[in-house]
């Protein structure tokens, strides 16, 4: 980056001895956000790719000082402004010079520029605005255009010409036409023109966007506005309208990227001997992870790939490694084996397209592979294997989904046992009870999910239900897994919140419940300065703990080597801590040492505030976990253990409600206290509530709670009689 030394202190001055201050030191993102443009001290501009920060291209160096630069609205050209008033227009991809425009700024200096439609606007140190009309063909090649290309310069200091008079007529015409127009923002412009040919505002806008060289510059000269409007109505009535898109026409399909839970893009190795070595994680869950290494020698066609399978608990399985000869980019694994697949995405000529391979972790005796029949432009988007196969490994299933919506089911030995067609598949996971959770693409920012019960003849528990996620520049899905009760869990990229699907076994009753905001959990809600840029990479949900990785330095994906997973306590988002982030007003006369000491004490106080127990959150959390466990008892073994867990949830539930009840009594909020008491369904807890009310001398509240106890006893007696 160029170095700027500001020497003009009292007032801004870019002339004479302070002219060295006029230098470009600002970076600029392209309009697509895929590249960043950076100025250099040599007067050139470098373009870097956002995904890997590699240099794309660099403009030629110039002896003149670079003042400013900008990108064209079409994102195809870059304009560089130099101190001598020269504007160089380059191709945005190759930085080949397309045109050079020179302006006369007299004794002033140009300081900035902007590109809007077909004109470049340059501001000067004297406050003047200079306009440079630019005519560029967006489809032009990289070679410079002929010298006769239409590039003109107009200065505000010049006298009015006939063209400026015509522009004033156009301005008046547009203002009068806009007074009578009506706007319909929800209807596309093309469709509105077909629907109402007399909508003059849309016809005018359409003509204004046409090339000025095509229209007669004098066609509005010495004509009344009524005559011009009448002429336009006639042309609109008798001209052949543009084809109207059908409302039932199929929306343009989005290109689905193959996805495996926990997968990451290719990452260049920093410590490797060659910069051509790249790594990526193929799959990741609470059991372990698989990662691929791609290295290239001097010959670009000579690329070697290998896959390593690692486990967090190495007492169960040992890590192993093998050469990848089939370009596997999809993966799924459990405690017993691993499933790999070659999607064929953006590789239609790949001979291994559609290939899947399964092997056990301990050996290759029962390993197999087969080719999935794919249609033209079809490719595999996701594969999965039963998430747990400790007890009945032979009953495990394998599911393969494609961008055309084909779902193929295989047993553990490679036999295809079923096939069906649904909406395009984004991701698949299979639970320990062989329920398959699939995410589908149903349109722009419209995603759905389905749950299929394979043992019950592929019954749909939920089919094409709306999924509360949306597209983002980062990963669409950060985590996808099942909890211990086979409830689907999801962490979306747009909000980084762990949600679990509850009541999914009941038709039309499933709902997503947020359990934890991962970013807030690892960063202490932004209170701790050292953890402010920490992020979370989820791996699973075990009991009431979220298993995840900590990503430091504001990283989006986990790097190499992989850090050890940690466990986070669940915390439902019920309390706001924004007040803790407000800056504290400090006195100016306060000593620095006192400020540092008070600041550290303040942070500790805020951390204690964040980490202290919240009875309201505790009540909601145990209620949610208890309902999840109760709804899945039929599918779980060892019922006695799970019933004990439910009893513990009940005790914590009552205890948290009593804390809320006591807090309401201390604040003399009797209506709130009684509303809390009505949530208690245990006689012992209600008795404790009456004692709390008596201690605070609330006799009426005590009487109401005793009435609740009597009603509860009557309900229990009636239930016993019915049994």
- Note whether 309 and 288 are within 8 A (CB): yes
Check: pTM over 0.75? Answer yes or no: no
Spatial separation of the C-alpha atoms in residues 321 and 309, rounded to whole Å: 6
Answer yes or no: is pLDDT of 215 > 70: no
- Note whether 18 and 7 are within 8 A (CB): yes
Element (H, E) at 176: helix 162-179
Question: Secondary structure of 292-357 in the HEC alphabet?
Answer: EEEEECCCCCCEEEEEEEEECCCCCCCCEEEEECCCCCEEEECCCEEEEECCCCCCCCCCCCCEEE
> What integer is the mean pLDDT of 166-181?
42
Tokens representing 68 are 């400013």
Identity of the highest mean pLDDT range in 99-103, 173-177, 343-347, 412-416: 412-416
Range with lowest mean pLDDT among 377-381, 537-541, 583-587, 655-659: 583-587
DSSP 540-573: EEETTEEEEEEE-TT-SS--SSPPPPEEEE---S
pLDDT score, position 341 = 96
Cβ-count burial of 123 within 10 angstroms (0-12 exposed, 13-18 middle, 19+ buried)?
Answer: middle
Tokens representing 718 are 């009636």
Identity of the highest mean pLDDT range in 142-146, 581-585, 645-649: 645-649
Q: pLDDT tens for residues 248-299?
A: 334 345 689 999 999 999 887 655 555 578 999 999 988 899 999 998 765 5
Q: pLDDT tens for residues 221-247?
A: 556 666 776 777 667 655 555 554 443
Strand 110-116, strand 368-371: pairing: unpaired
Question: Secondary structure of 665-719 in the HEC alphabet?
Answer: HHCCCHHHHHHHHCCCCCHHHHHHHHHHHHHCCCHHHHHHHHHHHHHHHHHHHHH
In the DSSP assignment, the letter for residue 155 is -
Our CA angle for 703, 709, 710, nearest 5°, is 90
- Note whether 211 and 403 are within 8 A (CB): no
**Greater model confidence, 394 or 609:** 609
Long-range Cβ contact pairs of 25-29 (< 8 A, separation 24 or more): 25/1, 26/68, 28/69, 28/70, 28/71
pLDDT score, position 103 = 80
Q: pLDDT tens for residues 454-491?
A: 989 999 999 999 999 988 888 899 999 999 889 999 99
Spatial separation of the C-alpha atoms in residues 431 and 484, rounded to whole Å: 9
Answer yes or no: is pLDDT of 438 > 80: yes
3-state SS, residue 165: helix
Q: Indicate left, alpha or beta for 318 from its phi (over 0: left) and psi (-120 to 50: alpha).
A: beta
- Note whether 177 and 204 are within 8 A (CB): yes
Tokens representing 671 are 């209506």
Q: Is the dihedral of CA 659, 660, 664, 670 positive or negative?
A: negative
Spatial separation of the C-alpha atoms in residues 320 and 311, rounded to whole Å: 10
> What integer is the mean pLDDT of 590-607?
60
> Under CATH, which architecture does the 16-133 domain have?
7 Propeller (2.130)
- Going by C-alpha positions, the residue among 307, 329, 309, 326 that lies closest to residue 318 is 309
Could you give the count of Cα atoms lying within 13 Å of 84 in the half-sphere of its Cβ?
10
Q: How far is CA 208 from CA 171, 202, 203, 250, in A?
A: 11, 10, 9, 31
> Under CATH, which architecture does the 256-467 domain have?
7 Propeller (2.130)
Spatial separation of the C-alpha atoms in residues 49 and 250, rounded to whole Å: 33
Our CA angle for 544, 476, 542, nearest 5°, is 15
pLDDT score, position 583 = 52
Range with lowest mean pLDDT among 76-85, 164-173, 174-183, 696-705: 174-183
- Note whether 406 and 414 are within 8 A (CB): no
Q: Where in the chain is the domain with CATH 2.130.10.10?
A: 16-133, 256-467
Tokens representing 520 are 């807030």
pLDDT score, position 589 = 46
Q: How far is CA 543 from CA 103, 483, 487, 547, in A?
A: 71, 7, 12, 10
What distance separates the 2 farthest-apart alpha carbons in the chain?
102
Q: pLDDT tens for residues 79-137?
A: 998 888 888 898 888 888 888 888 877 778 888 889 887 888 888 887 788 888 887 76
> What integer is the mean pLDDT of 387-400?
71
* Structure confidence at residue 595 as a pLDDT band (50, 70, 90): very low
Q: What average pLDDT does the chain have?
A: 79
pLDDT score, position 93 = 86
Answer yes or no: is pLDDT of 558 > 80: yes
């Amino acid at each position: 980056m160029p170095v700027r030394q500001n020497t003009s202190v009292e007032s801004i001055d870019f002339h004479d001895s302070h002219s060295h201050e006029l230098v470009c030191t600002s970076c600029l993102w392209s309009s697509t956000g895929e590249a960043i443009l950076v100025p250099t001290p040599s007067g050139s501009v470098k373009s870097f790719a956002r995904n890997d920060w590699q240099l794309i291209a660099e403009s030629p160096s110039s002896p003149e000082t670079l003042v400013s630069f900008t990108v064209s609205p079409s994102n195809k050209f870059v304009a560089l402004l130099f101190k001598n008033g020269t504007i160089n227009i380059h191709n945005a991809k190759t930085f080949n010079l397309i045109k050079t425009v020179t302006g006369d700024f007299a004794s002033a200096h140009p300081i900035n520029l902007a590109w809007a439609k077909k004109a470049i606007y340059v501001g000067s140190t004297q406050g003047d605005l200079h306009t440079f009309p630019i005519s560029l063909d967006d489809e032009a090649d990289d070679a410079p255009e002929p010298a006769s290309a239409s590039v003109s310069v107009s200065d505000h200091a010049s006298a009015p010409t006939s063209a400026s008079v015509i522009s004033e007529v156009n301005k008046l015409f547009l203002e009068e036409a806009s007074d009578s127009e009506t706007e319909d923002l929800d209807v596309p412009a093309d469709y509105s023109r077909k629907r109402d040919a007399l909508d003059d505002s849309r016809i005018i806008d359409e003509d204004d966007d046409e090339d000025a060289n095509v229209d007669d510059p004098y066609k509005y000269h010495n004509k009344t506005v009524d005559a011009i409007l009448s002429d336009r109505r006639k042309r609109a009535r008798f001209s052949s309208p543009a084809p109207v898109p059908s409302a039932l026409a199929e929306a343009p399909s989005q290109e689905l990227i193959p996805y495996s839970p926990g997968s990451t893009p290719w990452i260049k190795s920093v410590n490797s001997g060659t910069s051509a070595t790249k790594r990526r994680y193929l799959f990741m869950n609470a059991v372990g992870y698989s990662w691929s290494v791609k290295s290239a020698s001097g010959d670009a066609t000579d690329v070697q790939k290998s896959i390593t399978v690692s486990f967090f608990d190495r007492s169960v399985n040992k890590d192993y490694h093998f050469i990848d000869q089939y370009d596997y980019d999809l993966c799924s694994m459990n405690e017993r084996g691993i499933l790999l697949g070659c999607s064929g995405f953006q590789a239609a000529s790949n001979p291994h397209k559609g290939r899947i391979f399964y092997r056990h972790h301990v050996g290759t005796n029962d390993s197999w592979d087969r080719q999935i029949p794919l249609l033209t432009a079809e490719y595999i988007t996701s594969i999965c294997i039963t998430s747990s196969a400790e007890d009945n490994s032979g009953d495990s299933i394998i599911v393969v989904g494609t961008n055309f919506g084909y779902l193929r089911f295989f047993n553990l030995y490679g036999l295809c046992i079923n096939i069906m067609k649904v909406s395009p598949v984004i991701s698949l996971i299979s639970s320990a009870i062989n329920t398959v959770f699939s995410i589908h693409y149903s349109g722009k920012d419209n995603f759905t999910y389905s749950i299929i019960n394979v043992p019950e003849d592929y019954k749909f528990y939920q089919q094409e239900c709306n999924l509360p996620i949306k597209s983002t520049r980062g990963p669409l899905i950060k985590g996808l897994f099942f909890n211990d009760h086979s409830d689907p869990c999801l962490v979306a990229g747009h909000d980084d919140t762990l949600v679990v699907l509850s009541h999914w076994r009941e038709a039309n009753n499933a709902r997503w419940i947020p359990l934890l905001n991962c970013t807030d959990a690892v960063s202490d809600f932004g209170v701790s300065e050292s953890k402010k840029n920490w992020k979370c990479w989820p791996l699973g949900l075990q009991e009431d703990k979220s298993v995840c990785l900590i990503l430091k330095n504001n990283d989006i994906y986990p790097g190499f080597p992989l850090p050890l997973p940690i466990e986070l306590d669940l915390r439902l988002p019920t309390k706001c801590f924004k007040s803790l982030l407000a800056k504290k007003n400090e006195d100016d006369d306060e000593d620095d040492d006192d400020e540092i000491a008070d600041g550290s004490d303040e942070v500790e106080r805020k951390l204690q505030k964040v980490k202290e127990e919240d009875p309201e959150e505790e009540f909601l959390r145990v209620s949610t976990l208890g309902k999840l466990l109760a709804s899945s008892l039929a599918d779980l073994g060892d019922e006695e253990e799970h019933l004990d867990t439910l009893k513990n949830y009940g005790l914590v539930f009552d205890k948290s409600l009593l804390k809320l009840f006591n807090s309401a009594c201390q604040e003399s909020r009797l209506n709130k206290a009684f509303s809390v008491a009505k949530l208690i369904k245990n006689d012992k807890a209600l008795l404790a509530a009456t004692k709390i009310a008596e201690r605070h001398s609330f006799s009426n509240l005590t009487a109401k709670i005793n009435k609740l106890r009597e009603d509860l006893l009557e309900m229990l007696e009636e239930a016993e009689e019915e049994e």
